[in-house]
């Protein structure tokens, strides 16, 4: 057997079609599909949540987050009614936090505009915050049986190898061709199962570096394998070296409490809590940076007492080294000059707030050294509403608290 049994015309380009491919793939999927929690339900809301969580995140990582999320927010209305702080705490550690904020915003929009029922077409789904072409196609096909294609990283790899397509699948011309192929191959029925089968094949068999070709149900129709090129396709550009940033943050103490602040909703790590600090400028020491950041962004003076640790963390577009210091408030009334809000909290209450990964390492250090044990892993952390405690001053007054960007 050979790939591309027939060709169809679509958008001025010849698109390969082969009815045997969906038949073989669906038969394989019935036998080999993994038992995943979101595959045990037909609830569109649950399927939507799973698809958002699975974006750029491995299945094994998502499973405990998904199960916990569905216990905390079992319905779309429960999610829409939840405070953002509680939603972000449930997402803590999963990364790409805009996904959580958009889920909550979209849930509220569905209640307002659709009577609490998730739209059942890809076109309508794409009008929701955070829903793009892939998520709309996945939810429409899996939850509602719509004949819509999906192309994620796994699907792109499968299609590039089956058709021996060269180039970077993220470039617009090739990406659009992959979407046309995925649509042309959709069976008349069971589009959702077919889409999941393509993704399953890419995740478990058609692996990036070492594809398990003998186990592939489409091995005889794979053009790349026929030419011995399966390990070389798809091609991707060399990764650029990530820029490196150095920063300093402080554990600022006063009257038995520690100063934390919440980032503004927009931008990287929006809405999360953190310890104050900022980027080290050229020719500036970490200690000088921290004193300057506390003065400029919080309006306070603090003594930088001693270094606590140095943390290294990588984000998708840059790497950061954070110098962490123990500090003590000297004078001033902290104000949220560059953040959403800020608070003085008891050390034991730090675990009740959603922090980025690097900051959680600081919390583990603090609670471990003070209480003889580390912080609970994010997945298992009990989720509670943050306690009512004094907040930063919004204008001159008598309380103390603070912030940084």
3-class DSSP state of 254: strand
Residue 301: which H helix or E strand, with range?
strand 301-314
Structure tokens at 340: 């959403």
pLDDT score of 240: 84
Model pLDDT for residues 190-205, shown as the tens digit of each residue: 999 999 999 999 999 9
> Alpha helices of 172-216 — where are they, by DSSP H?
172-184, 191-204
> Choosing from 10, 51, 246, 296, which is the catalytic residue?
51
State both tokens at 76.
């779309």
More confident site: 364 or 373 = 364
Question: pLDDT digits over 96-143, tens only?
Answer: 999 999 999 999 999 999 999 999 999 999 999 999 999 999 999 999
Residue 264 has pLDDT above 50, yes or no: yes
Ramachandran sector of residue 280 (left: φ over 0; alpha: ψ -120 to 50; beta: rest): beta
Q: Which domains does the chain have, with CATH numbers?
A: 6-226 (1.10.340.30), 244-380 (3.90.79.10)
Q: What is the pLDDT of residues 205-241, one digit of tens each?
A: 999 999 999 999 999 999 999 999 999 999 887 888 8
Q: Which of 282, 290, 264, 245 is nearest to 342 (CA)?
A: 264
C-beta separation of 212 from 203 below 8 A = no
Taking residues 151-171, what's their average pLDDT? Answer: 95
DSSP assignment letter at 60: H
Rounded Cα–Cα distance for residues 299 and 294 (Å): 6
Checking if the pLDDT of 379 tops 50, the result is no
The pLDDT assigned to 367 comes to: 92
- 271-327: pLDDT as tens digits: 999 999 999 999 999 999 999 999 988 889 999 999 999 999 988 788 999 999 999
Decide if 301 is catalytic: no
Q: Is the pTM of this model over 0.75?
A: yes
The size of the chain, in residues, is 405
- Average pLDDT rounded to a whole number, residues 361-376: 65
Give the contacts of 32 (CB within 8 A, at least 6 positions apart).
200, 204
Q: What is the mean pLDDT of the chain?
A: 87
Note the pLDDT tens digit of each residue in 237-257. 788 888 999 999 999 999 999
d(CA 173, CA 166): 11
The H-assigned helical ranges of 17-97 are 20-32, 44-53, 59-72, 76-81, 84-91
318 Ramachandran zone, left/alpha/beta (phi>0; psi -120 to 50): beta
Q: pLDDT tier at 17 (50, 70, 90 boundaries)?
A: low
Which of 362, 254, 255, 256 lies closest to 298 in space, CA to CA?
254
């Amino acid at each position: 057997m050979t790939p591309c049994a027939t060709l169809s015309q679509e958008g001025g380009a010849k698109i390969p079609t082969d009815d045997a491919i969906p038949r073989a793939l669906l038969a394989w999927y019935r036998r080999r599909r993994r038992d995943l929690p979101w595959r045990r339900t037909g609830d569109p809301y649950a399927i939507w949540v799973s698809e958002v969580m699975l974006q750029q995140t491995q299945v094994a990582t998502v499973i405990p987050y998904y199960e916990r999320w569905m216990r905390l927010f079992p319905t779309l209305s429960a999610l829409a009614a939840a405070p953002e702080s509680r939603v972000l705490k449930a997402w803590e550690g999963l990364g790409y936090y805009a996904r959580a904020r958009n889920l909550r915003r979209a849930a509220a929009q569905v209640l307002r505009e659709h009577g609490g029922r998730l739209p059942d077409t890809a076109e309508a789904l794409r009008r929701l915050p955070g829903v793009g072409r892939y998520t709309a196609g996945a939810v429409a096909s899996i939850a509602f049986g719509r004949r819509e294609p999906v192309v994620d990283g796994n699907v792109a790899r499968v299609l590039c190898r089956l058709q021996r397509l060269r180039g970077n699948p993220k470039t617009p011309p090739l990406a659009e061709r992959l979407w046309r192929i995925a649509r042309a191959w959709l069976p008349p029925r069971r589009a959702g199962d077919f889409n999941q089968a393509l993704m399953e094949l890419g995740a478990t068999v058609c692996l990036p570096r070492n594809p398990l070709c003998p186990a592939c149900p489409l091995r005889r129709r794979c053009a790349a394998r026929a030419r011995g090129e399966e390990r070389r396709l798809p091609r991707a550009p060399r990764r650029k070296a990530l820029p490196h940033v150095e920063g300093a943050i402080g554990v600022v103490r006063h009257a038995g409490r520690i100063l934390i602040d919440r980032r503004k909703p927009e931008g990287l790590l929006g809405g999360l809590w953190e310890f104050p600090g900022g980027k080290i400028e050229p020719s500036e020491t970490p200690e000088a940076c921290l004193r300057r950041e506390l003065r400029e962004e919080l309006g306070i003076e603090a003594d930088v007492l001693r270094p606590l640790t140095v943390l290294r963390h990588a984000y998708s577009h840059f790497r950061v080294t954070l110098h962490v210091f123990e500090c003590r408030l000297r004078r001033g009334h902290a104000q949220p000059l560059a953040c959403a809000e800020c608070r003085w909290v008891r050390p034991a209450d730090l675990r009740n707030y959603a922090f980025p990964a690097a900051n959680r390492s600081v919390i583990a250090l603090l609670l471990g050294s003070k209480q003889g044990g580390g912080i609970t892993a994010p997945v298992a952390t009990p989720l509670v509403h943050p306690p009512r405690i004094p907040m930063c001053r919004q204008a001159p007054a008598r309380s103390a608290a603070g912030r940084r960007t």
